[in-house]
Amino acid sequence: MSDQCPVFAHFLGFGGVASAMILSTIGAAYGTAKSGVGISGLATFKPELVMKSLIPIIMSGILAVYGLVVSVLIAGSLSPSEPYSLFAGCTHLAAGLACGGSGLAAGLAIGKAGDAFVRAYVYQSRVYVESNGVDLPYKIQIRWNASHLDFCRSRGGLYISNKILTTLQVLGLYGLIVALILNTRISGDECSA
């Protein structure tokens, strides 16, 4: 083992595998659980709307898939019989943290927004209707009120639809893209010098 390929470099790579999978799964689990609470409340009042309100749960689950993809790519580079450089270990750790951290943040945001959307969906079934860029006749205004979101129907409020959930989903996708770019920066011949 040389200075460029220490024995602990594999540990950093495995840290990237673990952080990508664990953090993105925590985000997905939180998003699913938080939105699921709202869907459970929705099912009490309007059970016919349950299937239409599963969008936040599906979007949260996709975040765990992002972490799985990055974990599998990093784990494919790790082998006890092949040399593994410190650069590769640090790069894989950074890739795992980028994907996992963005998945965690996106999951937290999707959970909060998804729960709010589902609760608003009980009162106004048109919240989730796509409008192809045209504002809906009813809008929902969100005001921060101490510890919870207070919903008010108004004509001039903040327009909520699936577009916000999609934007939050893209936050997790950014981490996946950065992790894939970082993974391509490793040539594999750093230890041969």
Look at the chain and report how many structural domains it folds into: 1
Q: What is the pLDDT of residue 158?
A: 35
Residue 59: give the domain boundaries. 9-125+161-184
- pTM (global) more than 0.85: no
Contact by Cβ (8 Å): 51, 76? no
Contact by Cβ (8 Å): 7, 84? no
Residue 1 lies in a domain: no
Residue 70 lies in a domain: yes
For the chain, list residues with pLDDT below 70.
1, 124-161, 188-190, 192-193
Residue 72 lies in a domain: yes
Q: What's the mean per-residue pLDDT of the chain?
A: 80
**HSE-up (13 A, CA, CB side) for residue 181:** 7
Residue 151 lies in a domain: no
Q: What is the pLDDT of residue 166?
A: 83
Query: Which H helix or E strand runs over 149?
Result: strand 148-154
Q: What is the pLDDT of residue 175?
A: 95
Q: What distance in Å separates the CA atoms of residue 16 and residue 162, rounded to the nearest whole number?
A: 32
Q: What is the pLDDT of residue 193?
A: 56
Q: What distance in Å separates the CA atoms of residue 8 and residue 1, rounded to the nearest whole number?
A: 10
User: What CATH code is carried by the domain that includes residue 40?
Assistant: 1.20.120.610
Q: What is the pLDDT of residue 135?
A: 46
Residue 147 lies in a domain: no
